[in-house]
Amino acid sequence: MKVNRKRKPVRRAKPKVKPWAEQYLTDHAVSVEFALRSHVKIYDDRILFHRICPLTGRDLDATSTRHKVPPIDTKTGKPMKFTRKRGGGNVLYFPSSLNWKPAFADTSVDFYIVESECSALALAERDFYAIGTGGKDGVFMAGTKKQKLHEYLSNIKWSGRRVLLAFDGDVLTNQDVRESAHAAAKLFAEAV
């Protein structure tokens, strides 16, 4: 009697997430599996994007939260799709699924600068190095009036590196976003 010694492929169950969260990630070209591997936490009512230090892998105790039902900003009366921890300031988002330390030193690696965490994840899932800024002004150091790049970017060797700014689609229609994109382009041009 012949025994089949081939192992059956292990089928992992697809992670169970709420349909709204799966739809949100899918709409942004990110698979649920990749998001979970990248330390994204998915709950019934929110998605948490954890900030991990790209050099040490240490949790930065900073998150950006995408809400299923956005809370209303008490000052503006508008829904807040994303919220951050109080007092946390802006911490750049480096998808933890990529090996950032060697990429910081290797100028042949192109870096994409994008606004949202999902944009950074979507590019990372396709093996592109993308940094999420958390918004149009996230690339700048706070309090510098768009005159200095964010402090986390100072660890990156920029000379000779190709930097691709890929701000959200409203860069064409929103003057504030356009001004931020131009200021960022100027600072990166000076850095390379």
Instruction: Answer yes or no: is 31 within a domain.
Output: yes
pLDDT of residue 8 exceeding 60, the answer is: no
- Mean confidence (pLDDT) of the chain: 87
Q: What is the pLDDT of residues 143-169, one digit of tens each?
A: 888 999 998 887 788 999 999 999 988
- Check residue 182 and give its pLDDT: 94
- Check residue 31 and give its pLDDT: 95
DSSP string, the chain: -----PPPPPPPPPP---HHHHHHHHHTT--HHHHHHTTEEE-SSEEEEEEE-TTT--EEEEEEEEESSPPBPTTT--B-SEEE-TT-----B--TTS-HHHHHH-TTS-EEEESSHHHHHHHHHTT-EEEE-SSTTTTBPTTSTTSSB-GGGGGS--TT--EEEE--GGGTT-HHHHHHHHHHHHHHHHH-
Instruction: Answer yes or no: is 5 within a domain.
Output: no
Instruction: Answer yes or no: is 129 within a domain.
Output: yes
Instruction: Answer yes or no: is 137 within a domain.
Output: yes
Instruction: Answer yes or no: is 13 within a domain.
Output: no
Provide the whole-model pTM: 0.85
Q: What is the pLDDT of residues 28-57, one digit of tens each?
A: 999 999 999 998 999 999 999 988 888 888
Instruction: Answer yes or no: is 147 within a domain.
Output: yes
Residue 15 pLDDT level (bands cut at 50, 70, 90): low
In this structure, the strands spanning 111-114 and 59-67 are: unpaired
Q: What is the pLDDT of residues 66-87, one digit of tens each?
A: 999 999 999 999 999 888 876 5
Instruction: Answer yes or no: is 180 within a domain.
Output: yes
- Check residue 81 and give its pLDDT: 85
- Check residue 46 and give its pLDDT: 93
CA dist., res. 77 & res. 99, Å (int): 40
Instruction: Answer yes or no: is 12 within a domain.
Output: no
Residue 134: domain span: 19-191
Q: What is the number of domains present in the chain?
A: 1
